[in-house]
Chain A
Amino acid sequence: MKTVITSTGNTLDSKMDRRFGRCSYFVLYDSVNESIEFIPNTNAESVEGAGVASARVVASKGAEKVVSGEFGNKVKNIFDSLGMHLVIIKEEKSIGEIIELLKNNKQ
């Protein structure tokens, strides 16, 4: 299964980005082959609609789960209709730590 995690940077030590639409990177983690891909978020500087545009990116990557700090109403609306599994993490964690949690299926 593919999961997207919002990230502040492009390494496993980078902290998760608490913002969904305007995060710096999307991390695409595939649990089947354990591949990890860092995708720069070109919507981060959008004047408006960054959340919607980012939701579109996540959906187009075939992800079924998204991990971030928070999701806005418009984004939730889109993800609901896609049946996307949303995971909210409040404490500060690195991308590596979150991937470990996903592997151990604790989140």
Chain B
Amino acid sequence: MVKIAVASGKGGTGKTFVSTNLYQTFLSRGVDIALTDCDAEEPNSAAFFKYEETGGEPVTQKVPVIDLSKCTYCGKCQDWCVYNAIVILKERKIAKVLDEMCHGCGACTVACEYGAITEKDMVLGEVTKYSGKDKSSIVEGRLKVGVYTPVPVLKRAILSTTANVAVLDSPPGTSCPFIHTVNASDYVILVTEPTPFGLNDLKLSVEILNQMGKPFSVIINRAGLGNRDVHNFLEREKIELLMEIPFDKEIASIYSKGGLVISEREDIADKFSYIADVIIDKTRAC
């Protein structure tokens, strides 16, 4: 399976816009393709398609349970926990696990010499599969509100994806969720906008992708807005500019109604068709 991540540093640049339209472009060519929504904190790719839910499973993590009848309040589990998820106060006879701080590493279960710690499953979120006609499918990772990180959920969403080609709609930012998504991909499309915020976060993303050695190119969305600094940066760094999407009220209007712009605007459909060609060429996807 060839995986193409659509990412950005800055939020709201158009990752989902690009992901959904690129997915539909491949689909209309008869490619065996899936769209994986890795933005588990706010998944919305499925909203653009009238698909049926065809499966799902919870994503869980182990958290410790302390048996107070066996606990000696020695504090070793607390010392081993680098996430500050366990509080032991010997004088007060308190042994408490803060589930939401736990990363499920299991160190406490190894630390305990009295067999007082067992583990239980804690639900972090769920992976849901939506299917359309033919072989098309959308896999969505959705984090439970309050869980500290979407990484285990988005990783499971990627693992649950089966197709020849997958478009990964990545989470915003440049921290762990972004890194784990692009790490799983073969090629990255960075979506940015020609504003100081877009440029700043593009630079951060480029720096990370260069360190990871991931091949990538850039799409400038809302071209015509802001200034030319992003264009100048791309030229200076010799980064390929894949496409520019104009700052256009009609595009925004179609998208905001949950429509696919390529179905209504031939000029944009041509641009996405070009991108599909470039990606097939670069990744030998199909």
Indicate if the CB atoms of B89 and A49 lie closer than 8 Å: no
Closest to A74 in B: B98
- B81-96 vs A, CB cutoff 8 Å, 1 = contact: the mask equals 0011101010010101
B89 contacts which of A48, A53, A77, A82 (Cβ < 8 Å)? A82
Q: Which of A48, A52, A55 has the most CB atoms of chain B within a 10 A radius of its CB? A: A52
A74-B100, A74-B101, A81-B94 known; A52-B87 Cβ under 8 A = yes
CB contacts under 8 Å to A, within B74-117, are 78, 83-85, 87, 89, 92, 94, 96, 98, 100-101
Indicate if the CB atoms of B101 and A48 lie closer than 8 Å: yes
A81 and B92 CA atoms in complex are apart in Å by: 10
A49-B101, A74-B100, A77-B98 known; A56-B83 Cβ under 8 A = no
Set of chain A residues within 8 Å of B98, measured between Cβ atoms: 52, 74, 77-78
Nearest CB of B to A83, in Å: 9
- B103-147 vs A, CB cutoff 8 Å, 1 = contact: the mask equals 000000000000000000000000000000000000000000000
Set of chain B residues within 8 Å of A78, measured between Cβ atoms: 87, 96, 98
- A: interface residue count bin: 10 to 19
Nearest CB of A to B53, in Å: 33
Nearest CB of B to A24, in Å: 19
Nearest CB of B to A48, in Å: 6
Set of chain A residues within 8 Å of B87, measured between Cβ atoms: 52, 55-56, 78
12 chain-A/chain-B pairs, Cβ below 8 angstroms? A48-B148, A49-B85, A50-B84, A52-B84, A52-B98, A52-B101, A56-B78, A59-B92, A74-B101, A77-B98, A78-B96, A82-B92
